[in-house]
Amino acid sequence: MTDTAVLDLGRQALLISAKLALPILAVALVIGTIISLLQAVTQVQEMTLTFVPKVLAIATVLMLSGGWMLNQLVEFTRRLYETAPSLLR
């Protein structure tokens, strides 16, 4: 196994991780920002107010894109198993 193969495999793993985390993190960021703006405008400083909308939004994103995420992980794993014999030489 060469250094470039290890680096390429690590790069692919980081890219797939970022690609899968992006929808969840983006929704949490948008919902958190909106709730924070509403709290600033109304001066309601309840710490637990952001928790429920974020959880509901993240659950919705996972339900909508969970199949796509699983497909991406299965495809990455399949490619990894296909290239494993050539990596071990």
- Annotated domain spans of the chain: 3-87
Q: Which of 15, 35, 31 is nearest to 79 (CA)?
A: 15
Retrieve residue 24's tokens.
């969840």
Amino acid at 18: A
**pLDDT score recorded for residue 48:** 80
Given a cut of 80, whether residue 40 has pLDDT beyond it is yes
Given a cut of 90, whether residue 57 has pLDDT beyond it is yes
**pLDDT score recorded for residue 44:** 83
**pLDDT score recorded for residue 63:** 97
Rounded to two decimals, what is the model's pTM?
0.80
Question: CA-to-CA distance for 82 and 45, rounded, in angstroms?
Answer: 53
- Higher per-residue pLDDT: 49 or 52: 52
- Average pLDDT of the chain? 91
Question: CA-to-CA distance for 65 and 73, rounded, in angstroms?
Answer: 12
